[in-house]
Amino acid sequence: MKTLKYLFLGGLATVLMAADCSNKDSEFYNDVFISSPNMVDVEDNVLYTVGDYLMVNAYFDRTVPEAGQNNDIDLYKTSGGALSFTFSYLIEKEIAQDQWTPVDITEANVFDGEGNSVAFGDFLLAQSVFDPALQTYRYRGGVRLTETGSYRLRFTYNQEPSAAIVLTSDSLQGNLFVTIFSNCEDTDSAGYYYFDVN
């Protein structure tokens, strides 16, 4: 009888603990997800030549509109004072018809204008850094184009190509991480920006 009683109490405890647990990733990981359009753009150039830089910008206010919401979201406040938002991009070169290979990006070929740009092999990690005087997040950086050919840029590194650009707050420990899904008007519906270097 004692065993049955303990089994019942153990089962009841398990059910009560399971009822209190959440299966929402956002509660476990402490994330907030929003959508806001056109937060990143490519400085479009009619003609690139070897030695030119392909430039990317991410300038956005600390408050941004979110689709389906009446009020803007204060990114700085929501993230607990995140000093930057990080995203990545890479460049691929066409080596044969519809065959692409990532271009190795070295620190020597990185232009670091505003914010931070760090080369990691075949992709660039970009940080749009908060400017307290302007109350905006600011990034302007790029990659020197070193060879002729046909190229494309994309903003997704660890997933299938997508038109979505993911910017994630570099929040301090214990604060919410804000993940923004945005787009770039300069890319096609698959998320590519095509260009040639002469």
**Which pLDDT score, from 0 to 100, does residue 110 have?**
97
Q: What does the longest C-alpha to C-alpha distance in the chain come to?
A: 85
Question: Which tokens go with 160?
Answer: 């299938």
Task: Count, in order, helices (H) and strands (E) of the chain.
Answer: 3, 17
pLDDT band at 15 (very low <50, low <70, confident <90, very high): very low
The pTM of the full predicted model, rounded to 2 decimals, is 0.83
Distances (CA, A) of 160 to 24, 89, 116, 157, 189: 24, 13, 25, 8, 13
The rounded distance, in Å, linking the Cα atoms of 109 and 113 is 13
**Which pLDDT score, from 0 to 100, does residue 18 have?**
42
The rounded distance, in Å, linking the Cα atoms of 89 and 42 is 11
Q: pLDDT tens-digit profile of 106-146?
A: 999 999 999 999 999 999 999 999 999 999 999 999 999 99
H/E element, 81? none
